[in-house]
């Protein structure tokens, strides 16, 4: 028999769980500053939140979780902080890949890899190869990533294919163009969460967020965990998503 607690937990998400959640993990530096600690302490504390959120997303049945770990613009931060962030990403992959593989999680990295160190690129490739056949949650790590960069690299690839005769301009539509983007083959995010109190997308998944529901919270990333993610999913379940249709049309489609 299902306990009252389990029943309440199930009823909490009757509105539906998003297939794909994207998160801008903001507030690590402010979290550290409030505790009179160096910024890198906040970034290290944030790894614990990543672990909790990945675990909870898998439990909820989320298919894809995309985490904005390092943006194209973050390269302009002080060299010491960039070095700490790159080292943290490397060590986290080394430490967590095997555990994620055991839990059937597939790892995928999107971003401009040429700017990453050879050692980090090798670790990313190893993690992707190790987990390539897994069928559970797909964990996408956006590192050295920018939405404008993604659109530009896709446009360049399209131009090359048209020039070489592999593609004609008449064949290009939204679905085909999406395949050239970094998230090709994955569903667009249904829900974007940003922690830390800011309310902007910060050059994240510009093409893919066209119809995502946006959820902004004041919670700083190191304080964001399972309950905060569940609250965001619960809020998502109460949204009416019409995708440009009337409310009546959307209701008919949802019942179909």
For residue range 98-154, list pLDDT tens digits in order.
999 999 999 999 999 999 999 999 999 999 999 999 999 999 999 999 999 999 999
The C-alpha atoms of residue 19 and residue 37 are separated, in whole angstroms, by 37
Q: Who contacts 125 (Cβ-Cβ below 8 Å, separation ≥6)?
A: none
Q: Strand locations in 87-182, DSSP E?
A: 106-110, 138-145
Residue 74 known to be catalytic:
yes
The C-alpha atoms of residue 107 and residue 128 are separated, in whole angstroms, by 5
Residue 173 known to be catalytic:
no
pLDDT at 241: 66
Instruction: Report the DSSP pairing between strands 106-110 and 138-145.
Output: parallel
Q: Which one of 5, 6, 26, 203 is the catalytic residue?
A: 26
The C-alpha atoms of residue 178 and residue 200 are separated, in whole angstroms, by 23
pLDDT, tens digit, 9 for 90 and up, residues 184-199: 999 999 999 999 999 9
Q: pTM for this one?
A: 0.90
pLDDT, tens digit, 9 for 90 and up, residues 28-58: 999 999 999 999 999 999 999 999 999 999 9
Left if phi > 0, otherwise alpha if psi is -120 to 50, otherwise beta: which for 216?
beta
Q: Which one of 5, 11, 28, 74 is the catalytic residue?
A: 74
- DSSP code at position 187: P
């Amino acid at each position: 028999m299902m306990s009252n607690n389990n029943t309440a937990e199930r009823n909490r998400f009757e509105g539906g769980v998003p297939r794909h959640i994207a998160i801008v993990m903001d507030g690590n530096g402010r979290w550290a500053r409030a505790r009179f600690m160096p910024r890198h302490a906040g970034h290290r504390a944030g790894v614990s939140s990543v672990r909790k959120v990945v675990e909870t997303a898998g439990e909820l049945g989320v298919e894809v979780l995309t985490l904005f770990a390092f943006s194209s613009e973050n390269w302009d931060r002080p060299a010491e902080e960039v070095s700490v962030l790159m080292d943290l990403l490397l060590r986290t992959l080394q430490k967590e890949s095997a555990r994620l593989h055991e839990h059937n999680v597939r790892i995928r990295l999107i971003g401009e890899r040429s700017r990453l160190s050879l050692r980090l690129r090798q670790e990313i490739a190893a993690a992707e190869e190790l987990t390539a056949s897994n069928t559970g949650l797909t964990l996408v790590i956006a590192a050295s990533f920018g939405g404008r960069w993604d659109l530009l690299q896709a446009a360049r690839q399209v131009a090359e294919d048209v020039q070489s005769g592999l593609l004609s301009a008449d064949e290009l539509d939204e679905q085909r163009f999406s395949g050239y983007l970094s998230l090709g083959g994955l569903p667009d995010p249904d829900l974007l969460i940003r922690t830390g109190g800011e309310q902007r997308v910060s050059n994240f998944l510009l093409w893919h967020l066209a119809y995502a529901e946006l959820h902004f919270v004041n919670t700083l990333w190191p304080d964001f965990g399972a309950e905060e993610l569940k609250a965001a999913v619960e809020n998502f379940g109460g949204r009416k998503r019409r995708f440009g249709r009337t409310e009546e049309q959307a209701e008919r489609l949802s019942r179909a």
